[in-house]
């Protein structure tokens, strides 16, 4: 690797015996998240950073490196430039020299740094460069790696000199370039994460006196044109398809390959090309020709995109074009080409709207917002979409939806939509549910209710039992308090059902099943009722999400997207199944000479009871009840004792949807009384339960002893999540956090134990801690909140006990483990345990809270790892993160779990079956399979 440092600049670190003589005093010069992460890594490795030098603020926004340094109380200096007319600025040099740095670290730097600074540190200056030097010297190295079709990419950390990326090499790392790589994928997969780590390694080597200085060879050296100059961004179309493809993907992120489309009227329209791929397609008969300036042949617009011919008669497909600031689908070129942008002249009031809207975008994306800023190109995800839409509706009172953003993802386009909607508005704003409007048979006109005032709404929520289409008091007027976990204040009192109340609901359901539901409502009509109910839920989803946030502590944006959104999806999905439940014909051997026809019928079971948990009140109701109703049954449901309000609001919507009385009944109350009464009743022929394993065992006993009623159980979990070192670490950290902290850990498939390969364990933990520190804990109705309160006090206390046991048994509590101090409400800190051994209580038992339990593993013994993952009585879900498909498939085959996530987590869908093995229960929710839980099979044989 060359001679160690010692020839002039770094030999002061150690004496001849290798003893440390002087600490490094580091100046970090640069900008961006990359530089900020390098700073944090150096501090974690206990290096001394004496100053940070970065770019000047852009408007009111400072570079993240400056923000990070300030958090660590490191002096920050911001210079718009280091030189003036090629000469170092004296006052800038003076400020640099004032910190007394003896090593300069340049992780990412866009400014020209004078040699007086480069050579001003006694140990020299080291730079990060995104290429395998001496190849691709210059500012656009990553792009040229792709443009030139290199098979290897990588980065170099080198000692800066007075040349352009020509200094001696300290270290290099490489990775393969895949055929679908773009600048973004290379950066995220390798150049960024490995680069941060390597900068730390380089500084460690300098401190240890082992850093080499390898002179760069001129063999293979190249200096490529800077692609930030527009003249270098033009695509040469008179080339092979592979060369065209490589050029487009090399500029795919920013700024885009530049080309000129010549229209039929002779106009020249500049466009930028994105999303290229080599195509195996040969026929373009269905395409419409389009001509690019300088191209030897026509390109063609099809429904798949624009196909460009290379000189070798191979094709390149382009998916997206950018014309001006507007991104469009390439397939829509001819539909979009005549669309003229309308100048938006804002009134004084509309300028205030623009200021507010810009601040919302900036708070979410954390970037400066320009007219062409693309919401999704900035890395926004589905939860960011929900947050934006809700903040816009809440702040500006404009009726927008997710689709509004999808159709106008650029800020300028979105602003135009908002202003247009405001101009059309007649002053009327969305109202809450009109509780006096009723429709359908048996509909009641009055009921006792609580008026919830939140989210600029007044929401009327029933507080009585719902039996036979009416809201009624419980026997003797008994009630239970419902507590808002965010404030620990009582929201209201709801009816507490007695055994007689439950019996009345069951008898109502039985009567409806035997009469109106089976005799008068066809399967197709049943589906239509379900669709109508889903539409009502959609119309009032904000009210439902608000109730869910106040009642169960769910973060409002999550409640809107998941708790309510997936509930609506479930009703629509099963509405489609209602008239598609079919039997089969079966060939049998008849007694000749007669003939026999044997066929099966799938029939509803009858009265079904459902008992649902408190973590997803409306969603668990919908998962089970939608399949139950689609199959033709009637139902009595007992929602969770502590958060029944969305179930009662749902009952009101079923009346408005026109469901006959008795088909859907809701009894609120305690599990020991109302739940037990459902399990014991002989008219109930099926019971679906989601909850703890101990309670599930008791319910199964009652189901057997009463009338051997069919049951399905979704019980406890201790789902293992295995993270191998060859994974996409950033994704594994993000989804690993989600696997534990999603819905504040109150998630049946939460990763109860993470197995992290020892090679990445410490970095994984570091990144998780960093992520936790950015999570906002607080009021679930605040759109910026990421972590709300635990559902109820008893559960929070159990989490505290759980953490106490973990500490007592010797696990390392590295973060959290306590109730959030100085905050009203049932808020528990996101928690991390490491050094967890297999025998420990926290390695075996479910917390059902935001507690990450991490164990190390060595990847050499795969079978032992799987055995550890399976060493639990639960088998609900599991997950694995690895780029090795063979490992992933072997894990999926061997793990004992009803759901296996590979390189993702928590990704459920209403069409995918959901349920566990072992003591996590049996039977399925969701998907076609869930219908089987609510159907019985009748076999009919006819001899003729």
Out of 748, 761, 829, 933, pick the active-site residue. 748
C-alpha–C-alpha distance, residues 130 and 136, integer Å: 9
Answer yes or no: are the C-beta atoms of 613 and 620 closer than 8 Å.
yes
The verdict on whether residue 98 carries a ligand-binding annotation is no
Answer yes or no: are the C-beta atoms of 631 and 931 closer than 8 Å.
yes
**Tally of residues, the chain:** 944
What secondary structure, in 3-state letters, does 502-570 show?
HHHHHHHHHHHHHHHHHHCCCHHHHHHHHHHHHHHHHHCHHHHHHHHHHHHCCCHHHHHHHHHHHHHHH
The verdict on whether residue 848 carries a ligand-binding annotation is yes
Answer yes or no: are the C-beta atoms of 262 and 291 closer than 8 Å.
yes
**597 strand-pairing partners:** 942
| One-character DSSP codes across 772-813 | HHT--BS-TTSTT--B---S-HHHHHHHHHHHHHHHHTT-EE
The verdict on whether residue 338 carries a ligand-binding annotation is no
The verdict on whether residue 111 carries a ligand-binding annotation is yes
Region of 73 (left: φ > 0; alpha: ψ -120 to 50; beta: rest) is left
Is residue 714 part of the annotated active site? The answer reads yes
Q: What are phi and psi of 503, to 5 degrees?
A: -60, -40
The verdict on whether residue 639 carries a ligand-binding annotation is yes
| Interacting residues of 253 by C-beta distance below 8 A, sequence separation 6+ | 182, 183, 184
The DSSP code for 677 is H
Q: What are phi and psi of 610, to 5 degrees?
A: -125, 135
> Other CB atoms closer than 10 Å to residue 334's CB: what's the count?
10
- Exposure string of 400-409, with b = 16+ CB inside 10 Å and e = fewer, is beeebbeebb
Out of 40, 390, 413, 714, pick the active-site residue. 714
Residue recorded with tokens 């009722």: 529
Q: Which two tokens stand for residue 368?
A: 């400066």
The verdict on whether residue 112 carries a ligand-binding annotation is yes
The verdict on whether residue 708 carries a ligand-binding annotation is no
The verdict on whether residue 294 carries a ligand-binding annotation is no
The verdict on whether residue 641 carries a ligand-binding annotation is yes
Count of helices and strands (H, E) across the chain: 30, 40
The verdict on whether residue 113 carries a ligand-binding annotation is yes
The verdict on whether residue 879 carries a ligand-binding annotation is no
Answer yes or no: are the C-beta atoms of 623 and 570 closer than 8 Å.
yes
C-alpha–C-alpha distance, residues 894 and 18, integer Å: 50
C-alpha–C-alpha distance, residues 203 and 105, integer Å: 8
**636 strand-pairing partners:** 609, 665
What secondary structure, in 3-state letters, does 53-105 show?
EECCCECCECCHHHHHHHHCCCCEEECCCCEECCEECHHHHHHHHHCCCCEEE
The verdict on whether residue 709 carries a ligand-binding annotation is no
Is residue 129 part of the annotated active site? The answer reads yes
Alpha carbon 183 to chain centroid distance? Answer: 23
| Interacting residues of 621 by C-beta distance below 8 A, sequence separation 6+ | 567, 610, 612, 637, 639, 646, 647, 650
C-alpha–C-alpha distance, residues 633 and 200, integer Å: 63
The verdict on whether residue 508 carries a ligand-binding annotation is no
The verdict on whether residue 691 carries a ligand-binding annotation is yes
C-alpha–C-alpha distance, residues 491 and 473, integer Å: 18
C-alpha–C-alpha distance, residues 604 and 510, integer Å: 12
The verdict on whether residue 692 carries a ligand-binding annotation is yes
Answer yes or no: are the C-beta atoms of 168 and 215 closer than 8 Å.
yes
| Interacting residues of 86 by C-beta distance below 8 A, sequence separation 6+ | none
Answer yes or no: are the C-beta atoms of 240 and 310 closer than 8 Å.
yes
C-alpha–C-alpha distance, residues 285 and 277, integer Å: 20
Residue recorded with tokens 């993160």: 881
Out of 47, 129, 761, 795, pick the active-site residue. 129
The verdict on whether residue 676 carries a ligand-binding annotation is yes
- Exposure string of 5-35, with b = 16+ CB inside 10 Å and e = fewer, is beeebbbebbeeeeeeeeebbbbbbbbbbbb
The verdict on whether residue 674 carries a ligand-binding annotation is yes
Q: Which two tokens stand for residue 101?
A: 């740095």
The verdict on whether residue 638 carries a ligand-binding annotation is yes
C-alpha–C-alpha distance, residues 722 and 878, integer Å: 8
Binding site as annotated, residues for (6R)-10-formyltetrahydrofolate: 111-113, 165
Catalytic residues: 129, 714, 748
Binding site as annotated, residues for NADP(+): 638-641, 671-676, 691-692, 798, 846-848
Binding site as annotated, residues: 111-113, 165, 638-641, 671-676, 691-692, 798, 846-848
């Amino acid at each position: 690797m060359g001679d160690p440092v010692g020839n002039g600049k770094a030999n002061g670190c150690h004496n001849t015996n290798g003893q440390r003589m002087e600490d490094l005093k580091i100046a970090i010069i640069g900008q961006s998240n990359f530089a900020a992460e390098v700073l944090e890594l150096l501090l974690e490795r206990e290096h001394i950073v004496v100053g940070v030098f970065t770019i000047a603020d852009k408007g009111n926004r400072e570079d993240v490196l400056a923000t990070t340094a300030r958090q660590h109380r490191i002096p920050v200096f911001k210079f718009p430039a280091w030189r003036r007319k090629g000469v170092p600025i004296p006052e800038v040099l003076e400020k640099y020299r004032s910190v007394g740095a003896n090593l300069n670290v340049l992780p990412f730097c866009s400014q020209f740094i004078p040699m007086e600074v480069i050579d001003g540190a006694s140990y020299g200056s080291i730079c990060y460069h995104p290429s395998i030097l001496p190849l691709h010297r210059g500012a656009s190295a990553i792009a040229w790696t792709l443009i030139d079709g290199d098979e290897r990419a990588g980065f170099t950390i080198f000692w800066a000199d007075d040349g352009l990326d020509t200094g001696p090499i300290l270290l290099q790392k490489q990775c393969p370039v895949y055929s679908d790589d773009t600048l973004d994928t290379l950066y995220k997969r390798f150049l960024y994460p490995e680069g941060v780590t390597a900068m730390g390694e380089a500084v460690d080597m300098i401190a240890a006196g082992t850093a080499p200085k390898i002179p760069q060879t001129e063999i293979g050296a190249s200096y490529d044109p800077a692609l930030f100059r527009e003249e270098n961004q033009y695509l040469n179309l008179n080339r092979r398809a592979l060369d065209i493809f490589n050029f487009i993907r090399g500029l795919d992120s920013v700024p885009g390959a530049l080309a000129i489309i010549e229209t039929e009227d002779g106009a020249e329209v500049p466009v930028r090309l994105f999303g290229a791929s080599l195509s195996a397609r040969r026929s373009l008969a269905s395409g419409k020709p389009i001509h690019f300036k300088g191209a030897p042949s026509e390109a063609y617009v099809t429904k798949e995109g624009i196909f460009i011919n290379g000189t070798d008669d191979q094709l390149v497909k382009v998916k997206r074009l950018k014309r001006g600031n507007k991104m469009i689908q390439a397939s829509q070129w001819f539909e979009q080409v005549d669309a003229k942008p309308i100048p938006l002249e804002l009134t004084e009031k509309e300028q205030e709207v623009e200021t507010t809207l810009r601040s919302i975008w900036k708070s979410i994306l954390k970037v400066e917002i320009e007219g062409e800023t693309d919401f999704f190109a900035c890395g926004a995800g589905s939860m960011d979409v929900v947050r934006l839409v809700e903040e816009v509706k809440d702040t500006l009172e404009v009726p927008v939806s997710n689709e509004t953003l999808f159709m106008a993802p650029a800020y300028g386009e979105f602003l135009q939509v908002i202003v247009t909607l405001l101009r059309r508005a007649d002053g009327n704003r969305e109202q809450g549910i009109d509780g006096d409007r009723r429709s359908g048979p048996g509909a009641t006109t009055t009921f006792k209710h609580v008026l919830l005032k939140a989210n600029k709404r007044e929401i009327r929520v029933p507080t009585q039992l719902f039996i036979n289409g009416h809201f009624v008091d419980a026997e003797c007027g008994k009630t239970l308090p419902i507590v808002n976990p965010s404030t620990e204040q009582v929201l209201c009192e709801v009816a507490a059902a007695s055994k007689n109340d439950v019996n009345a609901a069951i008898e109502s359901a039985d009567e409806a099943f035997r009469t109106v539901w089976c005799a008068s409502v066809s399967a197709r009509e049943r589906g239509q009722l379900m669709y109508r109910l889903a539409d009502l839920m959609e119309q009032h989803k904000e009210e439902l999400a608000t109730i869910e946030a106040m009642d169960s502590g769910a973060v409002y944006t999550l409640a809107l997207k998941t708790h309510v959104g997936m509930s609506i999806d479930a009703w629509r999905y099963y509405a489609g199944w209602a008239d598609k439940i079919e039997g089969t014909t079966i060939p049998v051997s008849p007694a000749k000479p007669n003939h026999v026809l044997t066929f099966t019928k799938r029939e509803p079971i009858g009265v079904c009871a459902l008992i649902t948990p408190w973590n997803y009140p409306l969603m668990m109701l919908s998962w089970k009840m939608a399949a139950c109703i689609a199959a033709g049954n009637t139902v009595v449901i007992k929602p969770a004792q502590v958060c029944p309000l969305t179930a009662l609001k749902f009952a009101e919507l079923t009346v408005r949807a026109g469901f006959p009385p008795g088909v859907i009944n809701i009894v609120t109350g305690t599990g020991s009384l109302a739940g037990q009464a459902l399990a014991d009743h002989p008219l109930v022929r099926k019971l679906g339960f989601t909850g703890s394993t101990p309670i599930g065992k008791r319910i199964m006993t009652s189901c057997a002893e009463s009338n051997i009623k069919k049951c399905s159980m979704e019980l406890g979990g201790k789902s293992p999540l295995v993270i191998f070192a060859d994974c996409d670490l950033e994704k594994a950290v993000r989804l690993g956090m989600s696997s534990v902290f999603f819905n504040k850990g109150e998630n049946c498939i939460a990763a109860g134990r993470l197995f992290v390969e020892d090679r990445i364990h410490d970095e994984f933990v570091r990144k998780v801690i960093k992520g936790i520190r950015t999570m906002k804990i607080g009021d679930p109705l605040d759109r910026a909140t990421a972590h709300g309160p635990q559902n109820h006090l008893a559960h929070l206390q159990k989490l505290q006990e759980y953490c106490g046991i973990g500490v007592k048994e010797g696990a390392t509590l590295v973060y959290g483990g306590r109730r959030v101090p100085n905050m009203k409400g049932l808020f528990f800190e996101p928690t991390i345990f490491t050094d967890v051994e297999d025998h420990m209580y926290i390695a075996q038992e479910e917390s059902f809270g935001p507690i990450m339990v991490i164990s190390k593993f060595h990847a050499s013994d795969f079978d032992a790892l799987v055995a550890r993952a399976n060493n639990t009585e639960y088998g609900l879900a599991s997950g694995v993160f690895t780029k090795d498909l063979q490992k992933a498939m072997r894990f999926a085959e061997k793990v004992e779990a009803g759901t296996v996530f590979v390189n993702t987590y928590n990704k459920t869908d209403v069409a995918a079956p959901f349920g566990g093995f072992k003591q996590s229960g049996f039977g399925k929710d969701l998907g076609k399979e869930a219908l089987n839980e609510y159907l019985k099979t009748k076999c009919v044989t006819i001899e003729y």
